[in-house]
Structure 1
């Protein structure tokens, strides 16, 4: 029985994609472009790719749900979330929120996609004082909810994220929807922010990049930030330049007065210039925040939920890592078939799916996800002590 239990709770957790892995992505882009384009030969322009199925050779060994969680718990060096509340002045807190928001932008592996999460799948990880819980609350359309809390600084982060990928011939345009909210409960401040778009380009130069506008607003302090993510251009890539630049500003909401200019590159450094004094400062350094990342480790196997993402997809991930493509395809099919059977049983009994950790409200095409518990408990998956030492 003990051996059966151990097998049942076998987990495979892939390493997060860090800043230094970017060159590998560019190499994969140049090698895999023909194979990727062949998958879309029968797909019409403008088609919704939400339910498009990839072969295991083009899957990362992780679920999209894990990718969402990594944007919060996977970091090295400074605890950027905690800094948002530790700053004394409102303007300094907003600059910290801007820096943390930029840190959630991670390099994209071109030509490789994570698994589409199954309904009810979860991912629960702790790193230092930060506890993160994600859950797939809808499958058609795919909607993911995230709740993170910082024990020491009394910070609450909630995300409701869903996207619509559209095939545009030379590229895929992914509109990321949903609301991101950070509450600094000790300061009685709420910061609402939207999300950038993702563009996966095939021609003339392959690559994936974030683009669009991000707005961060705090009604209690009458301050807001607006960031513009500049797309990589073909000319820049041809010259060997990786653009990924950000330009933006911090303003007073009521008067519209601009207080700071923001500029830099999200994969390098971001600076803020005080327009009154002319002084500038670096508010974010990507190399210090999103390099040398490690996956979580299992602290308590017995507490790992049956729905844990790393367990749901463990066999698929293991076969992908071993490049056993035939067995990976079979394992992936088994996960998807299990989900279809669960749906059939619910439909036969007239049972509706109810998320375990979030209250979900749908208003037309918009979704809102609220956590059922005020704080996220400590997780059975943790970032190793080697990383936590960097926080102290």
Structure 2
């Protein structure tokens, strides 16, 4: 019987989460938010930490934050390519492009993911892309999500823990994704670390919601001393800077080796510093066009002006034509909640594909989704109260709090064992 079950599980792996599934739509279109006002809920919360504020479920999207975090992996081909290169600066270019691409799916994503329950997990295995990922909600207060992705051919490991801090500032909501990303290229014995930029949702009071990323992202190669500094430019009063990313790569002697430029919503290019500076001087001598101030995101995106001699590092994958009706999901995102027949036997019982509130919202049943969300949150509160009464501490299943060997800072590290498929100690959270 056990061998038969293993064969069934193997078949499930091939036909389920390991085989690339081209899901081009969701079971139901996005639920309308026209009858709801974000401002009506948030106007009393200016300057407060939003993780403690209960928002109506209509503002959610049918994904857990753990699934949204896995969207970092959409452009994994950049890591694979970096692994094949012999020059450390060339590898840094692609790591920088990957860091930019990992936030690209947030473009126009104004829905809020479901807050993961303590102990919730998400598994993503992509045999076609050559990796597998496991994530776990390791803390509830503060909310911390940890993830670990590894190459199926032992080429790389990519891991981190995110503590998203959300604040409301009157006309906008700002998200600070506190936590460090670590990418290890195993063949080259290199480790890169960086922190994601700030994200801001504008026009909360009125008008079309739009998103910008801004702040300085510093990527460090801890083995060579190479560094990449990327500036995600804020829009400010002028549309010209919207979505722009500019930066440079320097070696350990602080000599600039490459200039990077582009937009996190479109593409990234690399060019020699001398060529970039010459182009900048040439542009400065021309007739500069006046930029018109803007208060909303323009309907048509400005394209990147390519400097002669530049190399394309990354271009965003086009979204499906019906994406706007599907929470502005990418094609990759639409596959994240797929649950093929038989997959329940393979997944941990804590996997967020099994969450009833997310499932109900995905099919457009808002009432059931709301009831289930309340039930799960109450169950979580009761479990926490029971732990407090028994004077026991919650124990994470797949991650432990330790020290990041490259930064020396505290980090949640994967302890291994998830893919052995032994889930007997998993908590009953649903």
Q: Same fold (TM over 0.5)?
A: yes
Q: 1:332 aligns with which of 351, 354, 373?
A: 373
More strand by share: 1
Q: Given that residues 148 and 376 in structure 1 are in contact (C-alpha distance below 8 angstroms), is that contact kept between their aligned partners in structure 2?
A: no
Distance in 1, matches of 2:210 and 2:70, equals: 23
Q: Given that residues 184 and 190 in structure 2 are in contact (C-alpha distance below 8 angstroms), is that contact kept between their aligned partners in structure 1?
A: yes
Matched, 1:305 2:308: no
Q: Report the 3-state secondary structure (helix = DSSP H, G, I; strand = E; otherwise coil) of the residue aligned with 1:38.
A: helix
Which structure has the higher relative contact order (CA within 8 Å, separation 6+)?
1
Structure 2 match to 1:36: 38
Structure 2 match to 1:52: 53
Distance 1:274 1:376, change over 3 A: farther
Distance in 1, matches of 2:110 and 2:318, equals: 27
Deviation string, structure 1 residues 221-253 (Cα, Å, up to 9, x no partner)? 2211111112234542xxxx892111111111x
TM-score by length of 2: 0.73
Structure 2 match to 1:368: 411
Moved more, 322-331 or 201-210: 201-210
Distance 1:86 1:372, change over 3 A: same
Matched, 1:358 2:399: yes
Deviation string, structure 1 residues 281-310 (Cα, Å, up to 9, x no partner)? 010111369953241444733121111011
Matched, 1:259 2:300: no
Q: Given that residues 131 and 379 in structure 1 are in contact (C-alpha distance below 8 angstroms), is that contact kept between their aligned partners in structure 2?
A: no
Aligned length: 345
Q: 1:286 aligns with which of 316, 319, 342?
A: 316
Q: Given that residues 134 and 147 in structure 2 are in contact (C-alpha distance below 8 angstroms), is that contact kept between their aligned partners in structure 1?
A: yes
Q: Report the 3-state secondary structure (helix = DSSP H, G, I; strand = E; otherwise coil) of the residue aligned with 1:332.
A: helix
1:367, distance to aligned residue in structure 2 (A): 4.7
Distance in 1, matches of 2:229 and 2:39, equals: 35
Structure 1 match to 2:68: 67
Distance in 2, matches of 1:337 and 1:367, equals: 31
Distance in 2, matches of 1:288 and 1:258, equals: 32
Q: Which of the two has higher C-alpha Rg?
A: 2
Deviation string, structure 1 residues 284-341 (Cα, Å, up to 9, x no partner)? 1113699532414447331211110111x2x212332343322221111011111111
Matched, 1:131 2:132: yes
Query: What are the residue-to-residue correspondences of 1:60-209 with 2, within 5 Å?
Result: 60-72=61-73, 74-75=74-75, 79-105=77-103, 106-128=105-127, 129-202=130-203, 206-209=209-212
Q: Given that residues 228 and 248 in structure 1 are in contact (C-alpha distance below 8 angstroms), is that contact kept between their aligned partners in structure 2?
A: yes
Query: What are the residue-to-residue correspondences of 1:198-237 with 2, within 5 Å?
Result: 198-202=199-203, 206-233=209-236, 235-236=238-239
1:370, distance to aligned residue in structure 2 (A): 1.1
Distance in 2, matches of 1:66 and 1:378, equals: 21
1:361, distance to aligned residue in structure 2 (A): 4.6
Distance in 1, matches of 2:260 and 2:66, equals: 31
Distance 1:169 1:270, change over 3 A: same
Q: Report the 3-state secondary structure (helix = DSSP H, G, I; strand = E; otherwise coil) of the residue aligned with 1:355.
A: coil
Q: Report the 3-state secondary structure (helix = DSSP H, G, I; strand = E; otherwise coil) of the residue aligned with 2:50.
A: coil
TM-score by length of 1: 0.79
Structure 2 match to 1:9: none
Matched, 1:320 2:321: no
Q: Report the 3-state secondary structure (helix = DSSP H, G, I; strand = E; otherwise coil) of the residue aligned with 1:50.
A: helix
Matched, 1:244 2:243: yes
1:51, distance to aligned residue in structure 2 (A): 1.8
1:156, distance to aligned residue in structure 2 (A): 1.0
1:362, distance to aligned residue in structure 2 (A): 9.4
Distance in 1, matches of 2:126 and 2:375, equals: 32
Q: Given that residues 65 and 134 in structure 1 are in contact (C-alpha distance below 8 angstroms), is that contact kept between their aligned partners in structure 2?
A: yes
Distance in 1, matches of 2:372 and 2:262, equals: 43
Distance 1:109 1:333, change over 3 A: farther
Structure 1 unmatched ranges of 5 or more: 1-12, 381-392
Distance 1:284 1:376, change over 3 A: farther
Q: Given that residues 161 and 178 in structure 1 are in contact (C-alpha distance below 8 angstroms), is that contact kept between their aligned partners in structure 2?
A: yes
Q: Given that residues 212 and 242 in structure 2 are in contact (C-alpha distance below 8 angstroms), is that contact kept between their aligned partners in structure 1?
A: no
